[in-house]
Amino acid sequence: MKFLHIILLVTLGSICSHLYADDQTSSDESTIVFMRSSFVGKMIKASIYEVTNGETIFIGIMKNKKKINYKTTAGKHTFMVVGESADFMEAKIIGGKTYYSMITPRMGAWKARFSMIPIRNDGTTEFNTSSDKYKKWVKKTKESSIDKKSKMWFEKHKDKIEKKRVKYWAKWLEKSTEGKAARTLNPDDGI
């Protein structure tokens, strides 16, 4: 009988430690919601990547009135949006929070260029979670995910994207401290 109690206690301990580990994992995970809602360049698509540590990870294709929920770990990250050119956004995020970024088009020489704008949680900027616009963006953008067609597109254009990443990363590094800070998701921007 004692032997069965010991087995039962060990099994319960193992189950509890797995449940606790699962809780720890989920609290270390963050979500960044990339949204796009604009009349300018609405027919032109942009592609989104995580480029932390120089590795290019394809997140998806951004069409107008769409959003992509990207799960990642807490910590420092760098994201890139590609159209005619490439632009970047840094993120210093904490686990268990959701962060938002607006993908905004601006017209380039041949097609649209895009920027990633952090949506602030303090109401101090045009893009903030307390605005009526934010509520409309969240409600009216439909979730999008990577499909087979977009994966094939990425594989076909991977080399061009890498060239843009290298070229425009050099320009990003030349930005002022204030310029980079304006394009950085901060820990307190999370909800």
Residue 116 CB contacts under 8 Å (≥ 6 apart), including other chains:
34, 79, 80, 81, 87, 88, 89, 101, 102, 103, 104, 183
- Write out the residue range of the structural domain in which residue 42 sits: 29-189
Q: What is the mean pLDDT of residues 42-54?
A: 86
Is 127's pLDDT higher than 50? yes
Compute the distance between CA of residue 45 and CA of residue 94 in angstroms, rounded to an integer: 29
Compute the distance between CA of residue 43 and CA of residue 107 in angstroms, rounded to an integer: 12
Residue 42 lies in a domain: yes
Residue 48 lies in a domain: yes
Residue 18 lies in a domain: no
Helix (H) or strand (E) holding 77: strand 75-82
Where residue 18 falls among pLDDT bands split at 50, 70, 90? Answer: very low
Phi and psi at 56, nearest 5°, equal -95, 115
Residue 39 lies in a domain: yes
Parallel/antiparallel/unpaired status of strands 98-107 and 66-73 = unpaired
Residue 84 lies in a domain: yes
Where residue 118 falls among pLDDT bands split at 50, 70, 90? Answer: very high
Of 181, 68, 47, give the one whose Cα is nearest residue 113.
47
Residue 12 lies in a domain: no
Is 149's pLDDT higher than 80? yes
- Specify the higher pLDDT residue, 190 or 44: 190
Is 12's pLDDT higher than 50? no
Domains held by the chain: number: 1
- CATH number of the domain encompassing residue 44: 2.60.40.10
Where residue 19 falls among pLDDT bands split at 50, 70, 90? Answer: very low
- Specify the higher pLDDT residue, 121 or 9: 121
Residue 7 lies in a domain: no
Q: Sign of torsion, CA 43 36 81 124?
A: positive
- Please identify which residue in the block is written with the tokens 């990363």: 169
Residue 86: predicted pLDDT: 94
Compute the distance between CA of residue 167 and CA of residue 85 in angstroms, rounded to an integer: 9
Q: Is residue 190 helix, strand or coil?
A: coil
Residue 122 lies in a domain: yes
